[in-house]
Amino acid sequence: MSEIDGRIAEALTEEQERLSHEFPIDVYDPAITSWESIKGDILNAERAQFGENAAMEDELRGFFHDPEGVTVIRKDASTGKVVGFSTAGPADKAYDGKFHPQRISSQLASELSDSREALLPIQDRDGKTAYVHDTVLDPNFVGRKLVVGLVATLEKELAEKGYTYLDRDAAYDNGYAANVSKTYTNNGRLIYQSQPHGSVWGRQVYFVIRLPQVDK
């Protein structure tokens, strides 16, 4: 068993093991599962969670079909319905060819004294960086820890694809950012978290996370 599999196995509690049967997780492959067959569930979950700020179909389809990215989906085994997904791709691409200026600016630099690593522009870091575009569960399936296996699988796949870092934003006001912070502080992989910054989705916290290591 590789180191990464060992860590994931550790994280898979009995509850997560049970959930993985009731709600299996797949790495999305458009050659196996057509976008047409899942887009209804994906768009419903996205719109139910984000309303008028939901991502458009074209954008989501682009994320799901990005050969450099990774998308994982979670289904309800009893109905076949997709109940959640998480999608990530190359961070430099997500920021339109360059790291988001405000995230390496003097503003960020002044917040940081002990996390120099997070300050480096993506292309100067010692490994590839992925950015989490979106993580969503259908509201009827929230609060059952279904996100845990989803994110663990996303991270494993990204690491196996050669990524070293994961950048993401998480909403501040509803406590998601606190959950993300707690999760990665506890597992020792949190490199940096910003102060809350404004966005169309409300205040968000930006995180730089180290992905698990994979055996080479």
Binding residues vs ligand COA (CB under 6 A): 49, 135-137, 142-148, 151, 170-171, 176, 179-180, 182-183
| Nearest-CB residue for ligand COA | 179
- In the bound state with ligand COA, the residue whose beta carbon lies nearer, of 130 and 137, is 137
AA identity, residue 158: L
Q: How far is the CB of 204 from ligand COA (least distance, A)?
A: 9
- In the bound state with ligand COA, the residue whose beta carbon lies nearer, of 144 and 161, is 144
- In the bound state with ligand COA, the residue whose beta carbon lies nearer, of 159 and 171, is 171
- Eight-class DSSP state of 47: H
Distance between CA atoms of residues 197 and 40, nearest Å: 32
Q: How far is the CB of 106 from ligand COA (least distance, A)?
A: 27
Q: How many CB atoms lie within 10 A of CB 61?
A: 17
Q: What sign does the dihedral 159-192-146-173 (CA atoms) show?
A: negative
- Residue 72, judged by CB atoms within 10 A of its CB (0-12, 13-18, 19+), counts as buried
- In the bound state with ligand COA, the residue whose beta carbon lies nearer, of 65 and 145, is 145
Q: How far is the CB of 216 from ligand COA (least distance, A)?
A: 26
Q: How far is the CB of 139 from ligand COA (least distance, A)?
A: 7
User: Quick check: 83 and 91 in contact, CB under 8 A?
Assistant: no
